[in-house]
A and B are shown apart, each in its own frame.
Chain A
């Protein structure tokens, strides 16, 4: 996946200015920069959710797993149902349950996510992106709200199940990058 010379403004405020990024197939990359430097906007451009004012995004895989900055879960649905919403019939319930259990959610499989803690919801969002699969996994502060041990567990889970997909992770924390064994790209 290649992003070349991206420019993006929101009103008068420039968010991306001549940003280029190449993500080789299977690479694990962490984007680090202070707040407001357009990391999320860059991920959104890569996912096709934002159209850059100029520049191009090329060779984007057909399917992209995305952990958004917000959890973006359906509150009335359970963890399993939220993951199944993304996977459809491509993954059976038992496999989804195994994924969630691996993330320490074995006791909350059928609990509505609106009744879960922030950390539990974050892990459901991670499982959803990983189970959806695809050639690229975009993670926007994926370990927000997770303690050190759970962060390690979640990072190991992502690496174990990414099936060769490239990973681009946005974070402020070097420990996140270390947990993912990622190469760091500073914006």
Chain B
């Protein structure tokens, strides 16, 4: 490993991962790397002629986090293997891993060349959108563990979960939708052809063809009625049972009448029937479904704490270490936790120095030191050396699990159905039924045939196909536009909820502040270059988050630090060039002068040879665009901030947020949930924006929960939407665009009504002919499709969202 001072330019990027190189530089093969991890990956790829990886896309790599191979030894356990493997026949096996770090085409290329890195791998296929790789391997030549280790070394550490929800179910649903569309399109096309002669008129010599065509049509109507429409019947009946007239009720009614009247006309040879209109109707309805079923496969909105937990843990029994699944942990077991591992169960610290990072549970960024005999709650991540714990509660009884289960119990089920479409369809159905029965009774005494024709005609032509597809097409387009702006919604109905909220509750840490990028500002005497170097090297020795923050802030070469020592919870010290450097809390630095200031801010003092040089002030940075969000929404929306932190930032928050904003500090997860609930009891529609598991309850309780995540494919608590940190400033725009989309939906409803009343006008007189229906119904659907998608896109462009 060489070190170079010629490459100290501030904008030097790592050849592998493209990160700005900070601190220590690694140069290999004439290329600059940010860490030795990146260099190792480069070396592996270079040895195997896989450098094409770097030519497909610039700096495609992922900086691998340091791994310990022993961490994966549980993969040799047969039971765990059985749960992970998709298939195994004793010779070959296949497994599907979810790799959250897949992000570019170079990733696809490299992951499909895995057989070059491990000759036991037969084939690997990537599904880019799902961020998965399916690997087929020879179990004699390699093992599951080897593959996982290989993937982790090159930066693609798989997300291993035993309770992973089976995604296959979902793909079955999409597939069945495709089958239905295929069948509907086939019937639509053919029945149109078979209906043309009828519309154009038969010559006397061709009259014999007429029954052939109409019976063929009837044949085509069967799969449409019994197969393609099944979902609508189920949903309509389900709705009626719950005493809700949903949009599928009039649709199902229309389909039944279309089929019934067509069958009657064809069998009695009194007319050609409406089979073409019926199959066209189903095709458009199903297309709308596909359009709205666009989901973000790679995102998981339902994640719970389990997906964050390890699969297994090292158990120590009679000084022998074994790996066991966490579910089999019992009270009194002794477990061993290494650096960067997560504590799976509540336990008492028996050995080692623990610095636990609870950022996942509490959103707090600083880690907490624990002393021997202290209780450590599950969910924390150990940073530092090896620790030994005695399990005090089983995993299912632990604090975190209890917390989670409480949330899920207290939170009501969120409505999935669209309020707007339901209320419209209710009135629509009632009006249509009144009109059709009115017409029936008006005609009955005069002419039974016209009466039946008019009655069925109205129900057929009023079938709200255009109405039913305006929501999926408008909101589906909006969903895609949001997706492009890194705002991912769970489903369509979230847009409607978003357009109606009147209160926003923010979490503080990680939500309105950056979780990771807190800045460490040095306040005090000016340091010489030599001193900066020494401080940098000293801080580099420790893995404590504050030390890391300080070493990231400083740039320099690493110099030798002698007599390095770390005093947990206090600070670090070492000798550089025969001067004693100390970094740490006030009591740790001897002769520390009392500097005035707010004690709630985190300060880390620096002393050289017992002379205090100053301190590093650790501040949280607020996200860009927070001002914009607040200023453009403050007229209509009330804000609140709930924070698990102390009040140190109260003054600052008051200066940022508009007057009247409620600020709540020292809130536990349950407090947050109750706060949201109390707002809802006042009749508010609450949008909760949070990031950690500590917000999970509030996110679930709120009318709409948005999780802010720096990396959308990584953990975020269950929520209705996920927004990436960089798009946080656009939230105001998103809310406004959501209400605009709802206006477009209403406008397209009006359009659909115009078409409908046109058709009803003819139907009233019993004059609705099949050809009229065949033109009117598809025409209205096509108009709606174009109107909604084009207008939504145009507005998005105007607002700078496209």
Pairing of A with B:
no
Binding site for A on B (CB under 8 A): none
